[in-house]
Structure 1
Amino acid sequence: MTKLSVNINKIATLRNARGGNVPDLLKVAVDIQRFGGQGITIHPRPDERHIRYQDARDLKAIITTEYNIEGNPQHNFIDLVLECRPDQVTLVPDAIGAITSSAGWDTIKNQEYLTEVIQEFQKNGIRTSIFVDPILEMIEGAKKTGTDRIELYTESFAHQYSLGNERGIDPYVEAAKLANELGLGINAGHDLSLDNIKFFKENIPGLLEVSIGHALISEALYLGLDNTVNMYLNKLK
């Protein structure tokens, strides 16, 4: 079964909009795990506009499933990850001020830098994943960095699928096949939703984990958080 890691950035966004501690980010993380979620993902950014660095520290104590921290490996982020020691770190090439992730790494151009960062995390017992577009050369480049996994950036698939174009998944299938051949684990995320997750999962060989936040939290406004988490789990079986 493909694991579901729930990104709780949007919970932090809602909390920060009003100040105080409602909704309680830590309680939501506990509840998601109690509802069946198999991991918690956060993506702290330098401006801390949703997840704060202190949230990352506080969550460490209450996550009993898998803890995944995403972000651009700049100095403050690297220090935070080494302090928190999550199960997995996902490296994402976000520009400062970016609203959301918009592209994967150029693993060829940034090979030396990524290799250095990955070795530091692995030396500290943290599994690594690189956010990549479904481009075969980028998959090959990721392998050369020594990363444990890749995370396929799925915005393009989700957009094409919403237009009725199921062939939009083809580059992802080829990327997954190559990753499997190279011995890379496969994660995926960005714009995956209840509408498209089953089709994506059924067509991607060796899909280990999906990280879903914006869609899942938005769907939960209508369906309830417990129900939504379990709807995803059923589609990922």
Structure 2
Amino acid sequence: MRLGINIDHIATLRQARLGIEPEPIYAALIAQEALADNITMHLREDRRHIQENDCILVKNTIKIPLNLEMSIEEKIVNFALNLVPYQSTLVPEKRKELTTEGGLDVISNFEKLKEVIDKLHSKNILVSLFIDPDKKQIEAAKKLNADSIEIHTGEYANAPLSQKLQFANTIKDAAIFAKSLGLCVHAGHGLNYQNVSLIAKIKEIEELNIGHSIISRAVFCGLKEAIIQMKQIIEKARWLA
């Protein structure tokens, strides 16, 4: 199972004072050294953390893939077409939200998403859609010729312990269904050192993208060690599955 490291909150710390440190590029290089499989960055419309120059510097420096999380707003799409990341993950975005609150409504935004996906594919950029574990949304993603989906694990992460298995099984069913349609399956949002194991055991999921919990632990033990610890938990869960 691949592990993508989201480094947005390195930039959040920098932007708290609008200064020059800490620089996300250093986090990307440390993650690469810790054998992360990709770097994820979300260029938000309000530029609250990651900035365009961060994306350019990381893209031109790292040797592992860059996954650009993005809305379908025109200026963001045009930036992605010029940057040409390995993958773009299309996500819903609300200006006032603290973090992404749910999956894309692929069905309601089908035509606009088709236009954006076609443009990204014209540049040989892989496209993933961040969606809830809903079969109708997954079917729509397949019709749009998305390369993969990223299942939103937020409800699972926020559920009480007594309901964790129920939500994990919903995610598993969605992953099995998506895989049967020929989609690659990723997952992420709210995953941490305590709850990642149940999701990591789902063999149909090929990749997890995790940010906040790893950056939070890195404050106390360093980023490289925080990534290594997460990888060890995921590998153990995978082995026990």
Coarse TM-score class (shorter-chain normalised): over 0.9
In structure 2, the partner of 1:227 is 225
CA positional deviation for 1:78: 0.6
The structural deviation recorded for 1:41 is 0.5
Note if contact 1:187-1:210 (Cα within 8 Å) is conserved in structure 2: yes
What residue in structure 1 maps to residue 143 of structure 2? 144
When structure 1 is superposed on structure 2, of 3-12 and 19-28 the one drifting more is 19-28
- 1:211 paired residue among 183, 187, 209: 209
Which AA in structure 2 matches 1:103?
G
Residue type at the aligned position of 1:136: K
Letter in 1 for 2:138: I
SS at match of 1:125: coil
Aligned position for 2:39 = 40
Q: Find out whether 1:78 has 2:77 as its counterpart.
A: yes
Contact 2:85–2:125 (CA under 8 A) maintained in structure 1: yes
My pick for the range that moved more, 5-14 or 31-40, is 31-40
- Measure, in 1, the Cα distance between the counterparts of 2:169 and 2:92: 24
Residue aligned with 2:69, SS: strand
Distance across 1 between alignment mates of 2:163 and 2:184: 29
For 1:57-206, list aligned pairs within 5 A. Answer: 57-160=56-159, 162=161, 165-202=164-201, 204-206=202-204
Provide the rounded CA distance (Å) in 2 between the counterparts of 1:162 and 1:220.
25
AA at the equivalent of 1:212: I
- In 2, distance between residues paired with 1:150 and 1:174? 14
**Does the 8 Å CA contact 1:91/1:129 hold for their aligned counterparts?**
yes
CA distance in 1, matches of 2:78, 2:71: 12
Q: Which amino acid aligns with 1:139?
A: I
- Per mean C-alpha deviation after superposition, the further-off stretch among 21-30 and 130-139 is 21-30
Residues 183-192 or 223-232, more deviating? 223-232
d(CA) in 2 for partners of 1:165, 1:103: 18
Q: SS of the residue aligned with 2:85?
A: coil
The CA distance in 2 between the partners of 1:26 and 1:197, in whole Å, is 26
1:191 Cα shift? 0.3
Q: How far does residue 222 in structure 1 lie from its aligned partner after superposition?
A: 2.5
Amino acid of the structure 2 residue aligned with 1:217: I
| SS of aligned partner of 1:194 | coil
Which residue identity does 1:186 align to in structure 2?
V
CA distance in structure 2 between the aligned counterparts of 1:176 and 1:143, rounded to whole angstroms: 13
Report matched runs for 1:12-23 at 5 Å. Answer: 12-23=11-22
Question: What are structure 1's unaligned runs of at least 5 residues?
Answer: none
- Deviation at residue 34 of structure 1 after TM alignment: 0.8
Partner in structure 2 of residue 8 of structure 1: 7
Of stretches 215-224 and 30-39 in structure 1, the one that deviates more from structure 2 is 215-224
Instruction: Compute the displacement of 1:29 (Å).
Output: 1.0
**Aligned residues: percent identity?**
34
1:5-58 superposed Cα distances (whole Å, 9 cap, x missing partner): 111110001011123322122112111111221111100112211001221112
Provide the alpha-carbon RMSD of the alignment.
1.4
Amino acid of the residue matched to residue 210 of structure 2? I
The CA distance in 2 between the partners of 1:182 and 1:190, in whole Å, is: 23
